Amino acid sequence: MLVLQDVHIGYENEAIARCVGHIAFAKAKFIAIIGANGTGKSTLLRCMASGEHLLKGSVSLNGKAIAQIPLENLSKDIAILTTDRAISKSITVMQLLEISRAPYTNFLGRLTAEDELVIHTVVADFELKDLQYRQLSTLSDGQLQRALIARALVQQTDYILMDEPTNHLDIHHKAELLIKLKNHCKVHGKTILFSTHEIAMATSLADQVLYFNEEYIRFKSAEEFKKKNILQQLFPSPFLSWNDGQYTLKDSNL
Ligand SMILES: Nc1ncnc2c1ncn2[C@@H]1O[C@H](COP(=O)(O)OP(=O)(O)OP(=O)(O)O)[C@@H](O)[C@H]1O
């Protein structure tokens, strides 16, 4: 189980957000991370993936501090999709996915039948067949995003952390992606924690919500989160009113 315990995250000893007590992420859950710009969502995801930016408290996996787990073991437990796209674009989608099986292949990087099956299942599930032999440099922003998401999934980790996975996707692909990711959690027993500004879609699909409120990181079931209308507290705005995870625009400001 991945657990945050009295975590303070931040930079140069200055905390930007903290949690009180412990927050445990169970298996097979689809968990949205919600908060206003600059509240610490990306920082927390990086902290959960490596222990980076942890000022106090602990992030542990099955009782062991993340920072003490050797990288080659950790990469079989936790995968991360960041918003950083600084990767070599001269490889194909298939090569990207093959490299991402590195935690399981031998030092020659030779793929087994199982590695190939995992890759082909993700390619089929995430409709990458037509793109699999394209160079990353030739993909649109949205197509590249789908390839990077597939890269995180072929790592077959129990926990998959995704920083704004719906970035660059059109509305159809955003909905399709979130539904498929939720399905991936259910079918394969994985837990995905994803940050997003696609609040309506996220709160209607997520099982649980981790949210940032006035420098505190809190955790609730999606049902309770919506029932308590917490979005109104997170995004107080003269332009919006919130109800049951959905907003309406207040056009009286026009
Ligand atoms: N390398 C850094 N050094 C110092 N401060 C940083 C650094 N990276 C981010 N920050 C600050 O930490 C805070 C949290 O940033 P973070 O990127 O985690 O927010 P976020 O919730 O993901 O925001 P957004 O929704 O805008 O993507 C911000 O105030 C940001 O300016």
Distance from residue 54's CA to the centre of ligand 1 (Å):
14
- Quickly state the pLDDT bin for 253 (edges 50, 70, 90): low
Residue whose CA is at the smallest distance from ligand 1 atom 26: 37
Q: Which region, left, alpha or beta, applies to residue 241 given φ > 0 means left and ψ of -120 to 50 means alpha?
A: beta
User: What ipTM was assigned to the predicted interfaces of this complex?
Assistant: 0.98
User: For residues 108 and 89, what is the distance between their CA atoms, to the nearest angstrom?
Assistant: 22
Q: Is the dihedral of CA 151, 154, 155, 157 positive or negative?
A: positive
Residue of higher predicted confidence among 66 and 108: 66
Residue 254 has pLDDT above 70, yes or no: no
**Distances, alpha carbon 246 to alpha carbons 203, 204, 226, 232, in Å:** 9, 9, 9, 10
Find the mean pLDDT for residues 19-42: 97
Long-range (24+ apart) CB contacts under 8 A made by 164-167 are: 164/83, 164/194, 164/195, 164/196, 164/197, 165/81, 165/194, 165/196, 166/196, 166/198, 166/201, 167/83
| DSSP percent split of the chain into helix, strand, coil, nearest 5 | 40, 30, 35
Q: What is the pLDDT of residues 149-204, one digit of tens each?
A: 999 999 999 999 999 999 989 999 999 999 999 999 999 999 999 999 999 999 99
Distance from residue 153's CA to the centre of ligand 1 (Å):
25
Q: What is the pLDDT of residues 70-120, one digit of tens each?
A: 988 999 999 999 888 778 889 999 999 999 888 887 767 788 889 899 999
Residue whose CA is at the smallest distance from ligand 1 atom 27: 37
- State the chain's mean pLDDT as an integer: 93
The closest of 57, 65, 80, 96 to 195, measured between CA atoms, is 80
Residue holding tokens 């056009």? 251
Distance from residue 33's CA to the centre of ligand 1 (Å):
14
Determine whether domain 1-72+197-254 maps to CATH 3.40.50.300: yes
User: For residues 74 and 51, what is the distance between their CA atoms, to the nearest angstrom?
Assistant: 11
Query: Do 217 and 7 touch, CB atoms closer than 8 A?
Result: yes
Q: What is the pLDDT of residue 246?
A: 86
The closest of 210, 88, 106, 109 to 159, measured between CA atoms, is 210
Query: Do 217 and 198 touch, CB atoms closer than 8 A?
Result: no
Angle CA(51)–CA(22)–CA(192) in degrees, nearest 5? 60
Parse the chain into domains and list their residue ranges: 1-72+197-254
Q: What are the pocket residues of ligand 1 if the criterion is a CB atom closer than 6 Å to any ligand atom?
A: 11, 16, 35, 37-43
Q: CB neighbours (10 Å) of residue 197?
A: 14
